[in-house]
Structure 1
Amino acid sequence: MTSTDTRDDRPGGPAGPESPTKGGFWHGRSALVMPAIIGAFSLFLLIGSALLEPGEAEFPGPRFVPLIVGGTGLVLAVLLAAGVLRHPEPVDDPTPGVHRTYSDFGALAWVAGGFLAFALLLPHLGWILAGALVFWCTARGFGSRRPLFDVLVALFLSSIIYLVFGTALGLNLPSGILGGGF
């Protein structure tokens, strides 16, 4: 190679196999999976709320919250996708065969376990306690290490949601053992 030759045949160089231009459009854009999941769930909510029979319910009715959550989810999915498309994740793994990962299966277990416990225990514990449990498990999964504070915040939030849905929207959330039933 002479001093006037501009080729770079080293692995990882501009013409090497690890070059970002060699991966095509999807190279560095694997984060588009999350906006796709959020968008699909949001569309599911919007279609479900459109097919929901409101009956004789007054405003805001049973369609109100799913429409807000579904619409907000679609907007967030579009914004996330636009961000990923504008700024793809840089791929800087120079070693072939070695893949980096950011999966935290402990956090996934806390969040998924909290949702499973919520679904199974809701009829028995009621909304306030089951909601507090899922909020606490989610906080723990996201890395909070203040269990007493998290329990208090979770009980406060689930109580507020219980009051809002029960009073403002007129929905009957299960009261469980706090309401005298089990």
Structure 2
Amino acid sequence: MPSNNPTSVSATVGDRLRFQRGSGLRGIAKALIMPGVLVAFAVYLLVGIVTMRVPANAAFPGPQFFPGIIAAGLFLFAGILAVGAVRGALVTPTADEEQTGDRAVRVDWRSFAWVAGSFLVFAFVLGILGWIVAAALLFAGIARGFGQRRMLFALLVGLTISSLSYIAFDMGLGLSLPSGILGWSF
């Protein structure tokens, strides 16, 4: 069954997709939304890294290392996306490019809202619900954003993955994740 979601596999397999381009400043502004979101999240991470209290005896790589890599990657991807967005908005397709059979797609804002909203909810409820429940809800929300209709199935898969990652981090690596309302300790 074909999906209306242009990001789903059934919509993209075998097709060449191109985003519909706006013209002028409005097209550039729309194309720069995602790079702007990435920069905002990277700045948020950077502020957290800078204001983080790190014990003097923390060894390398330390608690700031991996968030720093993620922030640098987000800045890099935002730059690449911004350059591509500006180039794509300024360059008009030739007649040959128009006739290649590429299917024009638009951003599915409902899917975007599910994914972005899931991350926001996860950030706010992690301390209350704990890792297992919050990560399961995050997984189910993102799965819904990518076209999954069976929410109970997505939630069960999310619970399985979040439980396994909790066990791996807490018991295997000795790094504690928030337990929240479950409140148990092993």
Structure-1-length-normalised TM-score: 0.62
Q: Deviations over 1:86-135 (max 9, x none)?
A: 212889xxxxxxxxx85634762x44654455355434432111111121
State the match for 1:153 in structure 2.
Answer: 157
Pair 144,89 (structure 1): closer, same or farther in 2 beyond 3 Å:
farther
Aligned residue pairs, count? 150
Q: Tell me which moved more, 74-83 or 113-122.
A: 113-122
Residues 64 and 159 of structure 1: is their aligned pair in 2 closer, same or farther, counting only changes over 3 Å?
Answer: farther
Computed over aligned residues only, the root mean square deviation of the Cα atoms, in angstroms, reads 3.5
Match of 1:82 in 2: 83
Q: Is residue 36–residue 77 contact of structure 1 (8 Å, CA) maintained in 2?
A: yes
Separation in 1 of the partners of 2:172 and 2:73?
Answer: 21
| Counterparts in 2 of 1:50 and 1:168: CA distance versus 1, 3 Å | farther
1:53–1:47 CA distance, 2 compared to 1 (3 A): same
CA shift in 2, pair 1:77/1:131, >3 Å: same
What corresponds to 1:48 in structure 2? 48
Which structure exhibits the higher relative contact order, with contacts defined as CA atoms closer than 8 Å and separated by 6 or more residues?
A: 2
Alpha-carbon displacement from aligned partner over 1:64-104 (angstroms, at most 9, x marks no partner): 2211210110111011111112212889xxxxxxxxx8563
1:141 to 128, 145, 149: 145
Larger Rg: 1
Find runs of 4+ consecutive structure 1 residues off by over 4 angstroms: 167-170
Structure 1 position 38 matched with structure 2 position 38? yes
Identity %: 45
CA separation of 1:112 and 1:171: change in aligned 2, threshold 3 A: same
Distance 1:46 1:112 in 2: 20
Please report the TM-score for the alignment, with normalisation by the length of structure 2: 0.61
Segments of 5+ residues of structure 2 without an aligned counterpart are: 1-20, 93-105
Residue 28 of structure 1 contacts residue 90 of structure 1 at CA under 8 Å; is this kept in 2? no
